[in-house]
Structure formats: C-alpha cells, structure tokens
Amino acid sequence: MEQPYIKGEVVHIVFHNEENYYTVALVHVKKTNEDLKEKKITVVGILPQLEPGELYFFYGQLTQHPRFGNQYKIETFQRALPQSKNGVVQYLASSRFPGIGQKRAEQIVEALGERAISRIVDDRSVLKLVPKLPDEIADKLYQQLMDQQGVEQVLLTLSKYGFGVELSMKVYQEYKTQALDVIRTNPYQLIEDVEGIGFRRADLLGAEIGVTGNHPDRIKAGCLFLLQELCLQEGHMFLNEQALVEQVCQLLSAPNSVITEEEVKERLMMMSEESDIVMEDDRVYLNSLFFAEKGIVSNVRRLLSSEVADEFPEAEFLKELGHVEEEFTIEYAPSQREAIQTALSKPMMILTGGPGTGKTTVIKGIVELYARLHGISLDPKAYTRSNPFPIVLVAPTGRAAKRMSEATELPATTIHRLLGWKGNAGSFEKDETEPIQGSLLIVDEVSMVDSWIANQLLRSIPKSMQVIFVGDQDQLPSVGPGQVLKDLLDSTVIPTVPLNVIYRQEEGSSIIELAHAIKEGVMPQTLPEPKADKRFFPCSTDQVKDAVWQICDNARRKGFTAKEIQVLAPMYKGPAGITELNVMLQDLFNPKTEQKREIKFGEVAYRTGDVVLQLVNNAEENVYNGDRGEIVAVFYAKENEEKQDQLVISFDGIEVVYLKKDLNQITHAYCCSIHKSQGSEFPIVVMPIVRSYHRMLRRNLIYTGITRAKQFLLLCGELPAIHTAITKKNDTTRHSMLKEKLQELLT
C-alpha cells in the first residue's frame, strides 16, 4: 500500500520554533493520495526551516483540529527535487549555489546524471568524476547541498529504522552536517551523544553498514553500553569482568550469530589498552568512575594528613562549651560533647545518626564553639567577597541546604553551587587549582552524595580546611554510582562519632520510634494503632487513590496547603503510582477553572498554582535537582516577544522562566518518589505501601520515606506489604572498592 503523502508548494510559514523545530506552514497542494478536497492545507510537525516557493513531499496523516479544522500532521518529509536532467541543471545553476552557473551545472549533470544531487549528498567523492571542477568549488557545493538537503537526508535515513521526526532532529541538532557521516561510520556514537537512543536502535543502523555479528566496533559498543547502563541503574562503581562478559554475549548474540566469551574478553583487553575503560584485576570500570574512586582515596589521605591549625587545651574547650550551654539553655549529652570536640580537633570527622538523635544540635554546637574558640563573628554581614565567611555549610539539594540554613541561622548552599557547576558545559569552577575558600566545611546528607560529586568536592578542599561529614547511613544510597558514606564509615579511616540516643522520642514522637524500629528490621505490633502524630489506613492497591484523596482532603480542610502535604510513593507506574496520584492530586489541590491559565506538555497540564519539582541541575538559574517550586504565572505565545508559551516558577523567591521546550525539566510535586524527597522534611507525609510495589519494598526505602515527616505521618496500604518492606534486608549490594582502598591507608 502506498504511503500517504501530500506534494505541495510552501506558501507561507505560519510559525517556526528554532529551539525545537515545531513548524506550522500553509501549503498549496499539487498532488496527493489522501482524500483531500482543499487546494491549501496547514501542515504541522517537527520540521527544519522550510523555504516558501519550494516543493516538498510531506508524509503523515490528516487530522481534525477542534479550532483550526483540517491539518496534515507530518511524520517525515523530503524536498521534491527536479527529476529531469534539465530540471537538475536549472536547480544547480540557480542563485542557491553561487559559483556554479549554467556551464558547470551542465558538466555536473553530464557526469553524474539526473540523480546528481542525491549522489553528491550521499558521497561527496563523486564530485571528482566531474571534469575540471576545482576542489574548493566542489567542497562549497557539497556544503551548500548538505545545508539544504542534509536534515532531510537524515530524517529519511533514520525514518527507515523507526526513528520519529523528533528523535531524528535530535541527531541532526547534535551533529549538523556531520550527521550522515556519523550514522554511516559509527552509529554507536549516537548512544553516548543523543538522549533517547539506546543500543538496539544504534545496532539497527550498525547492521545497515555491515557492523554485525562479532564486528569489533559492535562488541565495543555493547561493552560500553552495558557497563554504563548497569553502573548507572544499579549504582555500581565497576562490574565483575565475567558477569559483564556473559551479559555482553547475551546482548549481542542471535540464533545465527553467537558471540563467544573469548571474543568479548579480547575486545575488553584492547579497550583497556586504548584507555576506553580501566581494568583492575577482575573489575571493569568506566574511566570516570575509576578516577573518581581513586581521587576520593587520594584526597582523603591528603586531608587526613593535614594538621589542625589551632589546637585548644581541653580546659578552654570545656569552658567555652559551658558558656554555650548556659547561653542557649542546653545540656549536651556525652556523645554530643565528644562529637563537638572531635570535630574541632581533627582535620576530618564523620557525624552519623538517625532521626531525633541530635545531629542538628551538634552542628549548631560545632559552629558556635568554632566561632568562639577562633574569635570569629557569626554575622555573615561582617564579611566581604575578598574576606569570605569562614564556615561553609553545604548539602546535596536546595531543600536540604535550606533546612540546614534554618537550623543554624547561617547561610548554606548546594554542593553544585559551591563548586561552581557550569551546567551544560559539564564542568566545575572549583578544583585543586581553584579551591573552596574558608576554614571549616560541614556537609550534610552525605548519604545522597555519589562518587562523582564526592571526588569533585574533596579535590576542591584546601588542606587547611577542617571537614565534617554528616549523614544517616540507613537512608537510601545516592542515586548516582557509589555508596560514599557507607564506605567511609566501614573503612574506619576517618574519626567517627555515632549518635545513638533518641532525644525527640522524649517529646512523644511515635514517628521517630517507628523509624528506629524499622532501622532494626522490627515491625511494631502497635503500628496500626492511632497516635497523635501517626495514623494507618488499610486499603488495597485499587483503593490507594481514594484513600490518598480522603487523607489529603482532610488535611486541606484543616488548613494545610499543598506545599505542606507531601505524598510519597516508590514507583511511577500503575494505579497507585506517582503519575496517577499526581493527576488526582492536581484535581484536588489545583482544579482546572476558566480563570486559571495552563499549558499542555504532552498529556500533562501545568497551570498557575501548581506545585512542581525540578528534575535537573540548572546552575545558570540557581535551581537544582530536587528543588520544589510553584507556578506563579503562565504567558501564552501571543503575549511575549519570544512568541512562545512560558511558565514562571518561583523557587523560594527565585523566579525562573520556562519555555515549553524546557518543561521536561519539571514534574508535578504533589506526589514524588522517595528518592526525590531525600534531604527534605514536610509537615505532613502521606505514604501508601502496597504489595504491588513489591520490587521496591526495601527497608531503607521505607525508612527514608517516613523520616521525611516532621509533624504527621499518614500511612495507607497493606500491613503485609509494610511487614515485607521492614523485615526485608536491602539486597542491592553495590560494587565498590572504596572501603578496601581507603583501608590501605591504615597499613
């Protein structure tokens, strides 16, 4: 069956977005196999800049727009090039190609035939067949044709292998006129460079150019793909060589083409020799992860070997500690006193403990004692850019940094901002040549810090700076590879003070009591019993939405806002998943009205008043992954100079403008994943736990979720599912050699 098409001349470009290539154009229909009576029709889709007056073939389908009527939705397209020799001569002799002219155009067509244009685009070397054509003219013609035809050729080439226009345009945007060269010579490069292209798609392209079976490039691509995929998905620093080899064989083999383990091992060895990967004994590393692990070890050694600039007699320490206790009406417990003293007397220290054990109290004590003993002011206004505040407080997320700042009444920032993350450039301003300024660094929520950022932070710390890591090792590990806090603690190379006594329990916090029971793998028999700060509502998976609605509606009626109520779930899909719950909760907290403006992004509607979550780091706007904001304004394309729909989102007073193309950076935050909630606290946490979450039911996940609740914890779901989660040990061991390599420092 013939593919539906419209052949038409572009009359007028109604709209073209240079950022995402979304185009609306009016076309005069010359020929079509569609059931179309109109002589003119609007075509819409992801297209490069079309030229008015030019003929094109548009392939797609007729659609009916509720407001604009008949439209043709484009799947792919190509310029309708002249088919006759004379037509091609006139095309090449036109003003589009300065320097060619009538005579040269005739010579080109005589040598290459009526398919001259497509032959040149496919292979520039055919221009050598044209007699007396200077190299500089040949190069210029090829470049001009690629500028005009290149994107169309990319779209046509990739459409044969199931690539949609949007994904094909991403390929073209990445490589421009080199796109066809990359596709034809090394399609596996697309996996690394273009988001949305996985191994299977690249492998289809590879098969077309003969990169099949046990071709070395194919085996290399399979090794790199699995190494990166498994390390990122499962948090490993490396993969065991034999396990990787077996998985590569499984990925690449087909019934008529079996890849042997020997072939993969041989290729891995060559990749190691060519520095594409690092092999250490039977471990296979991505380069970035190997050097991150190595960097953490060398910088911990460097910082531990430094001497504390000012050492104070114990009598002086105790005297100042007494003054602090008296002034703030507090009495530090023995473990808290030990933590403060260790922090002030050692170059590095780890403070660890669960919720309610007084980590924040100790941090405040460290800061206060440090200032008194060193004779420095804790008023940030007393410092300047050339004489910066000596105490640096940081956390992995904006929310965690804000909590730290509120607790200490001192400025705190994110690690990325401290290090001068350059966003799209993928680099940092701070390193060993341009270190952090200050004399005391306190890093909170270290369990969230992955190996890459830990290495960058450590290498940026000057030897004269004292360092305190604070964290709870029972929480979820970092999203990125590694288990930095756990490995630092297990290595025992850094002085550590654990806080084990629960103080907030004395205030009647059943949330804290539950958290510590979960930590020990015990499900309290009293869990279903109502408490002043905790409730449990039994329900099945199918009833979760109704239960969450009722719980949140009750809280809303009592005066709590959407920002104060956080629903947490471990999975995105399914009837009790984050996606479904967000749709339902938006209807509850911010229903659609005629007065409320909104912008559609795919199936999601973002409207004024919505609570949203930032998904990526945006250093330019000082907004980071995990930050929560509120949509405060919506502007439509006709209302601004950019002629694009816009959202304005306020992140604690920082207002950021998002164009429609940027909306993949945010999501609704009425319900979010437990991973995304790390580093935050909320007055009310609502958490469904049902058996359909079985893949995610782990002790550290539930522990992390419930410890986000500051005042009220409202659980709903199935008690057997909660029991499974609490009693099931975390079975996801991450491969890391950081502990062992750190312990070598002791020998």
Distance CA 742, CA 734 (A): 17
Q: Answer with the residue of higher pLDDT: 17 or 614.
A: 614
Distance CA 96, CA 99 (A): 10
Mean of the per-residue pLDDT values of the chain: 88
Compute CA 439 distance to the chain's CA centroid, rounded to the nearest angstrom: 32
Q: What is the pLDDT of residues 621-664, one digit of tens each?
A: 878 888 889 999 999 887 776 678 889 999 988 899 998 888 98
Residue 190 has pLDDT above 90, yes or no: no
Distance CA 54, CA 10 (A): 6
Quick one: what percent of the chain has pLDDT higher than 90?
50
Return the pLDDT at 723.
92
Return the pLDDT at 150.
66
52: which residues sit within 8 A by CB, 6+ positions away? 10, 11, 12, 13
What mean pLDDT do residues 486-508 have?
Answer: 83
- Does the model's pTM come out above 0.85? no
Quick one: what percent of the chain has pLDDT higher than 70?
96
645: which residues sit within 8 A by CB, 6+ positions away? 599, 634, 635, 636, 637, 659, 660
Residue 305 has pLDDT above 80, yes or no: yes
What mean pLDDT do residues 167-179 have?
Answer: 78
pLDDT band at 506 (very low <50, low <70, confident <90, very high): very low
Residue 145 has pLDDT above 60, yes or no: yes
Return the pLDDT at 505.
46
Instruction: Please check whether residue 389 is in contact with residue 411, taking contact to mean a CB–CB distance below 8 angstroms.
Output: yes
Distance CA 246, CA 251 (A): 9
Instruction: Please check whether residue 84 is in contact with residue 92, taking contact to mean a CB–CB distance below 8 angstroms.
Output: no
Residue 294 has pLDDT above 80, yes or no: yes
Q: What is the pLDDT of residues 711-744, one digit of tens each?
A: 999 999 999 999 999 988 766 789 999 999 999 8
Residue 746 has pLDDT above 80, yes or no: no
534-538: strand order across its sheet: 534-538, 709-717, 682-689, 565-569, 671-673
**Residue 634, both tokens:** 């919506």
Distance CA 258, CA 454 (A): 41
Please write down the long-range contacts of 607-611, taking CB distance under 8 Å and 24 or more positions apart.
Answer: 607/631, 607/634, 608/632, 608/633, 608/634, 610/586, 610/668, 611/562, 611/563, 611/668, 611/669, 611/670
Q: What is the pLDDT of residues 519-563, one digit of tens each?
A: 889 998 889 999 999 999 999 999 999 999 999 999 999 999 999
| Exposed/middle/buried for residue 508 (C-beta within 10 Å: 0-12, 13-18, 19+) | exposed
Residue 663 DSSP code: G
Distance CA 227, CA 198 (A): 13
Helix (H), strand (E) at residue 655: strand 654-659
Instruction: Please check whether residue 605 is in contact with residue 622, taking contact to mean a CB–CB distance below 8 angstroms.
Output: no
Residue 640 DSSP code: S
Distance CA 509, CA 521 (A): 19
Torsion angle of C-alpha atoms 727, 732, 738, 742, degrees rounded to 10: 20
Return the pLDDT at 747.
67
| Nearest partner of 703 among 575, 511, 552, 526, judged by Cα | 511
**Residue 722, both tokens:** 């909660």
Residue 17 has pLDDT above 90, yes or no: no
Q: What is the pLDDT of residues 426-451, one digit of tens each?
A: 789 999 999 999 999 999 999 999 99
**Residue 578, both tokens:** 């984050």
Return the pLDDT at 149.
67
**Residue 628, both tokens:** 């929560």
Return the pLDDT at 542.
93
What mean pLDDT do residues 132-157 have?
Answer: 78
Residue 173: CB atoms within 10 A of its CB come to 15
Return the pLDDT at 175.
81
Instruction: Please check whether residue 238 is in contact with residue 735, taking contact to mean a CB–CB distance below 8 angstroms.
Output: yes
